C-alpha cells in the first residue's frame, strides 16, 4: 500500500505548516485520518488534510527581491536556450 499523490501532498503541507509555526509535526500526523482509495484499493488518501494559512507571513524585501531576481535569471536562461 502506498500514499496517493493527495496523501503525499497532505504530509508535505503538514511539514510546511510545522516549519512555519515552528511546532512538532508528530501531533499533526497523529490527527490525520487515512482512507483506502483507488480501484485496486492500494492507495491511501487523507480525509482531513491540514490547512496552512499564510496570514501574517511577511517576506522581507531583501529576501523577495533576491528570489525574484533568481527566478528572472532562470527564466532568461531557459528562454535563451
Q: 10-residue block means of pLDDT along the chain (81 residues)?
A: 92 92 94 88 91 74 57 51 41
The pLDDT, as a whole number, for residue 55 is: 78
Strand 34-37 vs strand 43-46: parallel, antiparallel, or unpaired? antiparallel
The pLDDT, as a whole number, for residue 67 is: 57
The pLDDT, as a whole number, for residue 1 is: 86
The pLDDT, as a whole number, for residue 39 is: 77
Helix spans in 1-81 (H): 5-21, 26-31, 61-80
The pLDDT, as a whole number, for residue 68 is: 55
DSSP string for residues in 6-27: HHHHHHHHHHHHHHHHT--SHH
The pLDDT, as a whole number, for residue 37 is: 85
Amino acid at each position: 500500500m502506498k500514499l496517493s499523490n493527495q496523501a503525499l501532498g497532505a504530509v508535505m503541507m503538514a511539514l510546511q505548516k510545522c516549519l512555519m509555526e515552528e511546532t512538532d509535526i508528530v501531533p499533526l500526523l497523529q490527527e490525520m485520518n487515512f482512507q483506502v482509495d483507488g480501484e485496486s484499493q492500494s492507495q491511501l488518501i487523507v480525509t482531513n488534510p491540514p490547512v496552512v494559512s499564510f496570514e501574517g507571513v511577511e517576506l522581507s524585501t531583501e529576501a523577495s527581491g533576491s528570489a525574484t531576481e533568481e527566478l528572472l535569471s532562470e527564466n532568461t536562461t531557459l528562454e535563451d536556450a
